[in-house]
Each structure stands twice: as structure tokens, then as C-alpha cells.
A and B are shown apart, each in its own frame.
Chain A
Amino acid sequence: MASRASKLPTPSAPRRLRVPFRTALLIWWCIWLALLLFFFSGVQFSIGPIQIRTIVLNTNFIAEFWPFISRGVLMTLQLALVSIVCASTLALLAALARLSRVAPLNSLAGLYISLMRGTPLFLQFLFIYAALPRVGLIFDAFTSAAIALSLNYGAYMSEIFRAGIQAVGRGQTEAAYALGMTPWQTMRRIVLPQAFRIITPDIGNQFIAMQKDTSLASAIGLGELMQLARQAGNPRQAFFEALIVAALWYWLLTIVFSFGQSLLEKRMARSDRHQEQG
């Protein structure tokens, strides 16, 4: 049968060139990026009656001020790191309170979460920095920003923590109780370690989002990336240039963190596999 099949004339169907999808993706990425760059290239030309004018950037401004603006990166990172740590702690406490049968704690956490999710983050920044001094609570810009971010993200993340804790099976708690462990020992040693594993990707996403929301701190004068961009750009009418420098930094940080996150997830997946193979 095979020999007969080989004797059949192979129909010479027109072969289309098949580009592997990954290669196609790469090529298109380059095309879109080139187009994006082109918009800011300053090139001007006309095709017939159509005038093409791209944006002219003040390269002198960029050369002169990009080190100044870049100094804000450190502040941005500091703020994001401090806030994610505080927010996670707060989120864990709020999640435990929400899962507890202690009415005052449970309802307090509920109120906190509702309030923080029900008002804009920007308003919270201003409230803490500008309104609280009226009652004698005065915080500097960094502290205010860290408090606002921690409170706000803590509320959102508490729901993540709660879901993670609930995702750990009831049987785990029962097994620990049957061995004589206290509820707190069970939570700390059996449930939370498993819950953290489940929610690590979500916490990573929150961190990436928060790293960009630090820019709201520019409204209360904290010398972070966004604020320095505005300080440099506004008086010189160099909005495009200043914002582009800041945008590139945010973008770069996000890419780096996303990459770190995917490495972490791969490592966790590998250690899961490792567990399965012994």
C-alpha cells in the first residue's frame, strides 16, 4: 500500500510560506515598536496632499534633565517596597479578622475594606496629607503616601488573602485539630503556608500595580519619579519629553518585575514538580 501511495502523483498545491507563529510575533512586535518610535521621530513629509508630521522632541531637554528625573526612581521603588510590605501585613490581619467569629473584629475589618475600596486612592492621599493635619495628625509626604497605599492596597489584598486561606481544604484544618493543634497553630503552620503559595502570583500583580500608583504621590509633593518629571517639564513646556522619560522608567520597572514574577512562578512550579517526582 505504501508503494502504491508513493507512486501517486503528488498534487503540487501552491505552498504558502509558513512563518512560525513565534517568529511572526517577534516581527510584528518590531513593526509596532518602530511605528511607536516613528511617532516621536520628528520626521515630516507628505504623500501627495497628505501631510505627515510626527512629534518633535526636544532632545536637549532630555539630555539635560533625564538624570534629574531618573533620581526619582529610587524614591518610587522605596515607596512601593515599604507599601507592599505594610499592605500585605494589613491584608493578612484584615483577612484573618474577616474569617474570625469575633464580631467586633470581623465587622471592623469589613468597614475598613468597604471604606478603602469605596473611595478613590487619590482622595486618600490628599485626605491623609492635607486633611489630617487639621486634627493634629501631621505626616510628611513619604509617610502619607505609604499610609495611603498600604491602607488602600491592604483592603484589596485582604480579599486575595481570604480567598487563598479559604482555598486550603477543610480537611487540612481538621487533621491539625485532630492532632491537638490550636486554631492559631493550625493557621500559622498548616493553612497560611499553603495559602501563600496559592496567592503569590496575585501579590506579584498587586505589587506591579502599586509601583505605578506611587505616581499619585506627586500630588502631595513627594520627590518621586512623576513629581520630578513634572518639576523638570512644566516650567519648560517640555511635557512630552518629561513624561516620556518617566513613562519609560515605569515601563521598564514593570517589565523587570513581571520578569521576576514569572521566574518566581516557574521556580514554584518546578518545586511542585520536584515534589511530585520525590
Chain B
Amino acid sequence: MAAPIVQVEHLYKRFGELEVLKGVNLAVAPREVLCLIGRSGSGKSTLLRCINFLEEPDAGTISVAGITVPAGERSGAHKRHLRELRERVGMVFQQFNLFPHKTVLENLIEAPLVVKRQQRESAVALAEALLAQVGLADKRDVYPSTLSGGQQQRVAIARALAMQPQVMLFDEPTSALDPELTGEVLEVMKNLARNGMTMLVVTHEMGFAREVADRVIFMDGGLFVEEGTPEQCLENPRDERTRRFLERVL
């Protein structure tokens, strides 16, 4: 395996009494597409959110594209580091979280202008290219509330891509969508995978996992209990918990 682009070591996270991550280790290769599956409450979202420090881990180390950030620091340098890490990691949320007071284009150029201090012209050019890529070039000047859920999620993907991240995190990107709208979002994600983006995807879409994932990890109780290729993990699971979970979703 090539040198990992994402490396998670000994990651612990608890919410009060509840221990959600119990020493997770994970290495993701460049261009790899990794699907995380598991029951509700098994810690999938928490793991993703720890990778870009939306949740501060209790212990452990996160490295992304050469930036290593240990947990549990408070210094100014730590905060700067953490933002540099976030610049390299795009995230797509279940609830889209587009900025409702900004147009689609403004949503896309906001972070490049403010965080990266890009020139406006180049930011707009990139944003327009990304909108074309997700099939929404004609929506550049409307407000998010006028879009369907599937369109909003595609804008959210484009917004994350506008920062030109090296890794994309997806936390159940299609779970808030009507079934007939999930296809268009999954299609965009498949394209992204084909173009070599490194992706960590929490999903219940087993079809997507089977088709696109290089590796599937089944999480339970804050630990990885099974991992392997989609064939190994989804067709012939060895672990009893994986088998029971798959029986329910498939």
C-alpha cells in the first residue's frame, strides 16, 4: 500500500459516560474509496467528525496529507494546524448545511475567498467548473432553498470540492433524501471516485459500497469488527454482528 493519505492512530472519544470510539486505527491510501457501515450509534459519524476535528478526540493522532494533529491540545498553533488540516479535508453532511443567505455560487466561493484568499476570478472559474461537474451550472445564482434535496446535496459536494481537498468525508449523504433523489447524488460521488478522489463514506447504500468501494469497514461499539473488499465484507462476512446487520439492511 502506498503511504497513507489519512492515518488515524489510537483514537479515543467519549461523550460523558459513553465511550464511542475505543482506540480506532485506520490508514487510507490515496485514491482509495472506503465505506464505513454499521448500526446506528456504532460511532461512524463520530469517527468522521474526529478526522476533521468537528469533535475533539480525547486521545489519539490524526494525520492528513502530511499534517499531523494530536488530540487534546489548546495552543494557538494547534488551532492553526487544525484549520490547515480542515482545508485539506472536505466534508458533506447528511443535512447539506448550505448557507441559506448566499447564492449557490457564493456558497462555493466563500471559503476559497475567505480561507485561501484566492482571487475572485479564479475562485468563480473553479466554482463554475464544479457546478458544471455536478450538473447544476444553470443554478449558480439561485438561493439554496429553491433547490431540491438532491440538488442541494450536489451543491454541498461542489462547495467542499471548491477548497480542492485531498480527502472527502461523506456522512450519510443520501439519508435525508427522497429515494428518487439519491441516484443523482450517488452518481456524482461515483464520478468523483472514478477521478481518483480519496473518499471516506458512511452509508447505508450497500449497492454503492459494492460498486464503488475499494474497502468496506464494519463498525460496532466503537471498534472495527470486520474489514475487507466489498466481496469479503458484504458477501461472506465472517463476523456474526456483520452478518446480522447485513441481513437487516439488504
Contact = CB atoms under 8 A, between A and B. Distances in A.
Interface stretch (B23-31, B142-150, B179-187): B142-150
Interface residues of B, number: 28
B86 A179 contact: yes
A174 B97 contact: yes
A178 B142 contact: no
B93 A175 contact: yes
A180 B86 contact: yes
Size bracket, chain A contacts? 20 to 34
Given A185-B114, A189-B110, A194-B101, A178 B91 contact: yes
Among B100, B142, B160, chain A packs the most CB atoms within 10 A around the CB of B100
A176 B111 CA distance: 8
Interface in A259-278: 275-278
A174 B93 CA distance: 9
A67 to B, nearest CB: 47
Nearest to B86: A180
Contacts of A172: 97, 99
Contacts of B46: none
B115 interface: yes
A197 B146 contact: no
Contact of B145 (A169, A176, A190, A276): A276
Interface string B147-191: 000000000000110010000000000000000000000000000
Contacts of A176: 99, 111
Contacts of B91: 175, 178
Interface string B73-117: 000000000011011011101010111110000000011001110
Interface string A32-59: 0000000000000000000000000000
A278 B142 contact: yes
A276 B147 CA distance: 8
Contacts of A189: 110, 114
Interface string A217-236: 00000000000000000000
A181 B114 contact: yes
A193 interface: yes
Contacts of A276: 143, 145-146
B132 interface: no
B99 to A, nearest CB: 6
Given A180-B111, A180-B115, A185-B114, A175 B146 contact: no
Q: Is the interface of A mostly helix, strand, loop or mixed?
A: helix
A274 to B, nearest CB: 8
A180 B67 CA distance: 14
B52 interface: yes
A177 interface: yes
B125 interface: no
B95 A171 contact: yes
A276 B146 CA distance: 5
A113 B9 CA distance: 46
Contacts of B159: 179
A182 interface: yes
Nearest to A169: B97
Contact of B101 (A174, A178, A197): A197
Given A171-B97, A174-B93, A194-B101, A179 B110 contact: yes
A193 to B, nearest CB: 5
A73 B52 CA distance: 57
Contacts of A278: 142-143, 146
A174 B54 contact: yes
Interface string B114-153: 1110000000000000000000000000110110000000
Given A175-B93, A276-B145, A278-B146, A180 B99 contact: no
Contacts of A179: 86-87, 110-111, 115, 159-160, 163
A178 B54 contact: yes
Contacts of B89: 178
26 contacts: A174-B54, A174-B97, A175-B98, A176-B99, A176-B111, A177-B86, A178-B52, A178-B90, A178-B91, A178-B160, A179-B160, A179-B163, A180-B83, A180-B115, A180-B116, A181-B111, A185-B114, A185-B115, A193-B101, A194-B100, A197-B101, A275-B145, A275-B146, A277-B146, A278-B142, A278-B146
Interface of A: 169, 171-172, 174-182, 185, 189-190, 193-194, 197, 275-278
Which 4 pairs from chain A and chain B are nearest by CB? A179-B111, A275-B143, A175-B97, A171-B97
